[in-house]
Copies of this chain bind each other. A is one copy, B any other.
Amino acid sequence: MASSTHPSAPCAACKFLRRKCIQGCVFSPYFPPEDPIKFTNVHKIFGASNVSKLLNEIVPHQREDAVNSLAYEAEARLKDPVYGCVGAISVLQRQVLRLQKELDATNADLIRFSSNQNMMLTIPQTSGNYPQNHPHVLPPNYSSWNNYNP
């Protein structure tokens, strides 16, 4: 949630940039003075001027989300200067592929089990309850994000 205004204290951005925090400051709602790291991270990676430009191009009700995603990216880039949060995307993409492969294999096994059981059921049995239609046999389509490409 955007911070409340602090009439008595400049926002973290204005404090860092050593300038007067005027009413309507574009940074003020999103960079409260009690969280100076959030601004210094974003400033170090994107630059205050670029962030200001970006915020001014976004409708006010989406600015908080934008600042939070910038802060997330900045923190990831400071922790991993080579890959930043793109490293996370690669890890997640590999994880999705691995899970999809595992699910496909498990579904194939379910089909085999189900077929075997159907064969057994051709011999009349007096006990047992063997469902022949399985809700998980056909996997949903998870392929759309396997190769994220902005």
Binding site for B on A (CB under 8 A): 44-47, 49-50, 54, 57-58, 62, 65-66, 69-70, 72-73, 75-77, 79-89, 91-93, 95-96, 98-100, 102-103, 105-107, 109-110, 113-114, 116-117, 119-120, 123, 125, 127-130, 134, 136, 139-140, 142, 145, 148, 150
Interface majority SS (helix, strand, loop, mixed), chain A = helix
**B residues near A103, Cβ cutoff 8 Å:** 99, 102-103, 106
Tell me whether A57 and B81 are in contact in the complex, defined as CB-CB below 8 angstroms, given that A44-B50, A109-B110, A109-B136 are known contacts: yes
The 10 A-B residue pairs whose C-beta atoms are closest, nearest first, are A92-B92, A76-B150, A99-B99, A69-B86, A47-B47, A106-B136, A113-B113, A106-B106, A66-B82, A62-B82
